[in-house]
Amino acid sequence: MLEQPRPHRTRYYAHRVGETLTNRFFKFFCSCFLGLLLLVGVVAFVLWLSLSPHRPRFHMESFSIPGINQAIGSQNTVVNFNISARNPNQNIGIYYNAMEGTVFFRDQVIGRTPLISTFYQPPKNTTWIYGMLTSGGVSSTGMQEMIRQFTAGSVDFRVELTAMIRFKVTTWHGKNHRMHVSCDVALGQNGQILERSKERRCSLYFS
């Protein structure tokens, strides 16, 4: 005659089966949760790569002071410059508030002028920034240094651009950032930009 299973053994096997099903369900739930978390992480990383804003890029394209040999140190000298602004982003546009340009010789301001007014720059776009100002001259010490550099073959200037900018992704607008662009440029004795300064990339920082 077959031995009948004892009640405590039946309860033990039932408990083991229930415990196994619980473990399987818990493992399945954890696997689904971790898989979903990984998927969300990958999607977020891809979105971050595609939407993370890159800084605009500025390059000095041209700079001139007509008749520089007569203009050194004098008042009412005309200064012309042209800088390219590139938005390298794939899906992000840039809003620029009114921009101002300042030309320096060493640490002395040669002149200051308003540039382009508020505008929107779409992705993968290059905008040309033209500036023309009238120099207010430099100090006697600055004039001596300028003459020394001119006699040596080139004169070093610096163009700085300042503007408030914000990034735009579809309908989302970022906060405003104060942008500072600094472009070093060397001028030859003919009053034109030297080759080593053409298309030189400008430095940029935010404050």
In whole angstroms, give the CA distance from residue 201 to residue 84.
10
Distance of alpha carbon 26 from the chain centroid? 47
Same domain, yes or no, for 108 and 35? no
Same domain, yes or no, for 29 and 119? no
pLDDT digits (tens, 9 = 90+) for 133-186: 988 878 888 888 988 999 999 999 999 999 999 998 877 677 889 999 999 999
In whole angstroms, give the CA distance from residue 19 to residue 178.
62
Number of domain units in the chain = 2
Show the domain range for 122. 57-206
pLDDT digits (tens, 9 = 90+) for 69-102: 776 766 678 999 999 999 999 889 999 998 999 9
CATH number assigned to the domain comprising residue 144: 2.60.40
Same domain, yes or no, for 37 and 128? no
What end-to-end distance do the CA atoms of the chain give, in Å?
A: 92
Same domain, yes or no, for 38 and 102? no
Instruction: Name the residue among 61, 66, 109 with its Cα closest to residue 81.
Output: 61
pLDDT, residue 174, reads: 75
